[in-house]
Chain A
Amino acid sequence: MSNDLRRCFSWERRDTLCERKSFTNQSKQGFRHHGVITLCRKHRPLDLLGNLQYLATLDMESVVAAVDCSWPVPSICMVSREKGDDNPANAHHCRCRGSQETTASLSGSRNLGFHGEWTLVFDEEPGVQKALEVLAACRADLHSLPVSAHLGLFSQSSPSSPEPASLPAEDVTANSNGPKPAEVVLEDDREDLFAEATEEVSLDSPEREPVLSSEPSPAVTPVTPTALIAPRIESKSMSAPVIFDRSREEIEEEANGDIFDIEIGVSDPEKVGDGMNAYMAYRVTTKTSLSMFSKSEFSVKRRFSDFLGLHSKLASKYLHVGYIVPPAPEKSIVGMTKVKVGKEDSSSTEFVEKRRAALERYLQRTVKHPTLLQDPDLRQFLESSELPRAVNTQALSGAGILRMVTKAADAVNKMTIKMNESDAWFEEKQQQFENLDQQLRKLHASVEALVCHRKELSANTAAFAKSAAMLGNSEDHTALSRALSQLAEVEEKIDQLHQEQAFADFYMFSELLSDYIRLIAAVKGVFDHRMKCWQKWEDAQITLLKKRETEAKMMVANKPDKIQQAKNEIREWEAKVQQGERDFEQISKTIRKEVGRFEKERVKDFKTVIIKYLESLVQTQQQLIKYWEAFLPEAKAIA
């Protein structure tokens, strides 16, 4: 059997609970006539159309099928019949040629319409040819449809299914560069699916595994409760995490879940250009033994807005599904202006160094995340020599303003969402993160004060050293004079020591804390996305309820067309409700995993950095001892 048909079946199999006829027999013969294949429809009939197109291109004996849909495409005739009814005479024909037909004409058949299941009947009646012609005629129009698009649509893996989903159609992720490894993976996937298609399931069997759907809607056919996945407009982004799920497992197995063998360094800040258009370019060096990179060591030049662009891409792809994306370092208009203007003083060099260190930490955190590491954007960032300029990161660009507006809107929304938290874990965790945030802020403030005071101490010690030297000069007792000069020298060395310690205070302790304060903001953001997801689900449930009420009203008023429409809408919203629930469960699951990983990272990070910091303190004390031990005999020598 051709691949195309396999696709149909994988599609079918994926979404629904449906009986299907096995094809083991048919594989030898093509389609057996009178066989019934039940294809469960996707959300958009485009899918079905696409599949039919494939079917039509197959060398089948007979197809009598046409899809009716209220979609604004030239529709095809649909034929269906009641399930189990093999009498061709009962097949309903619905004629339409390039017109939009409602499903009302097929009343009586529950499988019809926008939201139903269609049964394709294959038989050898003369009507077949006609149908085929029609199909062929419509194919021209169908061609204009992005046929492959639908293939990616059922990418969302349902919570219970372990395998990652779909085919990596080329234009699935607009951002991606064609993830090759994923394709390989899916080949295997398809084999698996196909293997399962050989199960014989009797049409009439009342047994159904309630795999996917929640509650069956009253209008459902005896075949299955439909568990329809709504392919979302952002489906492009949805497929990304799913595909990578598989490779992530791969990577984790590879690396024992501990260290990914990749090292990133950010170095050599260079000023490029002049005046207000100048910018700093940083060298990003990657050393790795991971197979997904083409080389084991490479470096590229990047500027700050490139980093922001990377973060914005990653955030748009992963934040709303529950992944904690490390935040990028903050912009600083004042700092950058000084650099641009060309002030070569210590504050601008300090600023550049602070930024370089922050960028390095940012990249290191990002590559530690197994899912993000797989992202093609990240790889492009690390590898490719030319990167398209990320203009949307500018604060005053259209995108920037949009971001600000969205943020404000989100803040307002957050206040109005009252979520019924059924899972205590989330509430607990949110509270914990809130507390942690407060504590870290307090600690950060104290450490910043320490940095400030130590810098002051260093400056004052230097001043004192000079003053002591002068005093020594004017002292006319020789031994005392010498001792005072020695004191001045000691104090000068100590001043250096204080300066170094202040650096350590800052770069190790203080920056760690500020990084984590921003990370926790990202974590809180992820929790908020979950709330939004829940809200969407809630809204869908409410709308479904309303639609059902409408249907009931129409029933009473006995307006057949309106009833049908109501039923259609109910199907639609049932699908949305189920999708909403699935999304919510998915994001909850992802968040749990992410939070677990985050906590482990946090503990490791803090322990490592604080120990390093304490070691710096040890070094300072050791040096102090050395200096004062050298001075003591000098002091004693004063006669």
Chain B
Amino acid sequence: MMQEGLDDGPDFLSEEDRGLKAINVDLQSDAALQVDISDALSERDKVKFTVHTKIPPAPPRPDFDASREKLQKLGEGEGSMTKEEFTKMKQELEAEYLAIFKKTVAMHEVFLCRVAAHPILRKDLNFHVFLEYNQDLSVRGKNKKEKLEDFFKNMVKSADGVIVSGVKDVDDFFEHERTFLLEYHNRVKDASAKSDKMTRSHKSAADDYNRIGSSLYALGTQDSTDICKFFLKVSELFDKTRKIEARVSADEDLKLSDLLKYYLRESQAAKDLLYRRSRSLVDYENANKALDKARAKNKDVLQAETSQQLCCQKFEKISESAKQELIDFKTRRVAAFRKNLVELAELELKHAKGNLQLLQNCLAVLNGDT
């Protein structure tokens, strides 16, 4: 876990952990449950906290579609496939499902941790309820009206963002942060996309190993010469090495791609925060102008004054919290990258060593035979 001093967090998570362990037996039903909750929670958070702070991005919806498709295929093809093919496919499916599930769990964990660590959010009642309530939460999904509202809000935001970004900031810190975030965001986006492609290629290669293994097996069982034992051994090797390669791909995905994706959204959220601050700055400046105008005209001065004061307060508050958030962002980012990169390297090493061992063993056997 990344952050300091969590009261509720650890308990809950360990509970969840325990819960998860129990759940591992039956994967499907639980996933559905989790999805619903996260959706609802994130949306409600957004609704509540748009103004002041940076909202930790919601965990992504887990993509179980691919696995569901495979499961369906498996069910359909059960009669037609040989026993080996069937068990193989089943294993493959399980491995894949497990990988996606791990991913999802990690994302959710990150999200919950973030919320828990947030000085303001952690105090939110919804959050407490979420963490403590023993039974199933019933969450209302967004209704049509709210969805439409969201849509318009997004439109407005993006248009506004363009206008607002033109305003030069007085504060150096924020100016620097703005340029930095812009560049960083774009590059993280790029890196995330490329990393995705890379892990997907890796997975395709692992799948090819699978097919090669089956073909070699078929060759081995059908061949009449003494090469059949050879083929069977190599087929076995490919099967095992394929599992490792698949895990490499999954781990890369987990540690690298997901990390980048998360920070993509984080940096987006940071940008959004800056936008909001700029927005409030503009509002503040507008209020100032209005006040001056009012004073000049000597009409509605009190009103203008109040509104100006309000804007000023808002601006200062948001500036303060934004500053804090952005500093936190950096710290968090560095820590997250460190953790993930270290884990990535360790996992890559572990798998490469495993692979090497497998290959060397197989070679020893083959060379011994021939």
Contact = CB atoms under 8 A, between A and B. Distances in A.
A599 B341 contact: no
B78 interface: no
Contact of B359 (A450, A454, A621): A621
A453 B345 contact: no
Interface stretch (B58-66, B149-157, B186-194, B289-297): B186-194
Interface string B317-351: 00000000000001001100110011011101100
B225 A463 contact: no
Interface stretch (A47-55, A371-379, A435-443): A435-443
A602 B223 CA distance: 12
Contacts of B356: 618, 621-622, 625
Contact of A467 (B194, B211, B333, B353): B194
Contacts of A439: 215, 218-219, 222
Contact of B201 (A460, A480, A618, A636): A460
A615 B363 contact: yes
Nearest to A461: B198
Contacts of B352: 621, 624-625, 628
Interface in A417-435: 432, 435
Contact of B341 (A457, A461, A618, A635): A635
**Most chain B beta-carbon contacts within 10 A, residue among A440, A443, A615, A621:** A621
Given A457-B202, A477-B334, A636-B342, A446 B194 contact: no
B355 interface: yes
A450 B198 contact: no
A449 interface: yes
B232 interface: no
Interface residues of B, number: 56
Contacts of B205: 450, 453-454, 457
Contacts of B288: none
Nearest to A610: B234
A475 B184 contact: yes
B370 interface: yes
Given A453-B208, A603-B226, A618-B359, A463 B341 contact: no
Contacts of A453: 201, 204-205, 208
B224 interface: yes
A618 B363 contact: yes
A65 interface: no
A468 B227 CA distance: 46
A542 interface: no
Contacts of B342: 632, 635-636
Given A461-B198, A468-B191, A480-B334, A625 B204 contact: no
Contacts of B353: 621, 625
Contacts of A599: 225
A471 B194 CA distance: 12
Contacts of A617: 241, 359
B345 to A, nearest CB: 4
B131 interface: no
Contacts of B93: none
Interface string A444-463: 00110110011011001101
B202 A628 contact: no
A1 to B, nearest CB: 54
A184 B366 CA distance: 47
A555 interface: no
Nearest to A428: B224
B13 interface: no
A474 B363 contact: no
B269 interface: no
A474 B180 contact: yes
Contact of B215 (A442, A464, A471): A442
Interface in A615-639: 615, 617-618, 621-622, 624-625, 628-629, 631-632, 635-636, 638
B195 A464 contact: yes
A443 B204 CA distance: 16
A512 to B, nearest CB: 13
A614 interface: yes
A602 B219 CA distance: 13
Contacts of B359: 614, 617-618, 621
B212 interface: yes
A227 interface: no
A635 B334 CA distance: 11
Nearest to B263: A471
Contact of B198 (A443, A464, A635): A464
A638 B333 CA distance: 11
Contact of B227 (A464, A470, A606, A624): A606
B183 interface: yes
A238 interface: no
**Most chain A beta-carbon contacts within 10 A, residue among B209, B225, B338:** B338
B123 interface: no
B237 interface: yes
Given A449-B211, A460-B201, A611 B337 contact: no
A608 B204 CA distance: 27
B235 to A, nearest CB: 10
A94 interface: no
A635 B363 CA distance: 34
A480 B337 contact: yes
A480 B331 CA distance: 11
Contacts of B345: 628, 631-632, 635
B34 interface: no
B188 A471 contact: yes
A614 B359 CA distance: 7
B14 interface: no
A492 B267 CA distance: 26
B197 A463 contact: yes
A611 B366 contact: yes
A280 B142 CA distance: 69
Contacts of B234: 610, 614
A456 B341 contact: no
A36 interface: no
B115 to A, nearest CB: 24
B46 to A, nearest CB: 28
B101 interface: no
A566 interface: no
B187 A471 contact: yes
A607 interface: yes
A460 B346 CA distance: 22
B341 A467 contact: no
Contacts of A461: 198
Nearest to A468: B191
27 contacts: A436-B219, A439-B222, A446-B208, A447-B208, A449-B204, A457-B204, A464-B191, A467-B187, A470-B190, A471-B190, A471-B191, A476-B180, A477-B333, A480-B333, A480-B334, A483-B338, A483-B341, A484-B337, A610-B234, A610-B366, A611-B363, A611-B370, A614-B234, A618-B363, A631-B345, A632-B346, A638-B337
Interface of B: 180, 183-184, 187-188, 190-191, 194-195, 197-198, 201-202, 204-205, 208-209, 211-212, 215-216, 218-219, 222-227, 230, 234, 237, 241, 330, 333-334, 337-338, 341-342, 344-346, 348-349, 352-353, 355-356, 359-360, 362-363, 366-367, 370
Given A450-B208, A480-B334, A631-B345, 12 more contacts: A443-B215, A471-B188, A477-B334, A483-B337, A606-B227, A614-B234, A614-B237, A618-B359, A622-B356, A629-B349, A632-B346, A635-B345
Q: Which are the 9 A-B pairs with shortest beta-carbon distances?
A: A457-B201, A443-B215, A450-B208, A638-B338, A464-B194, A635-B341, A446-B211, A621-B356, A467-B191
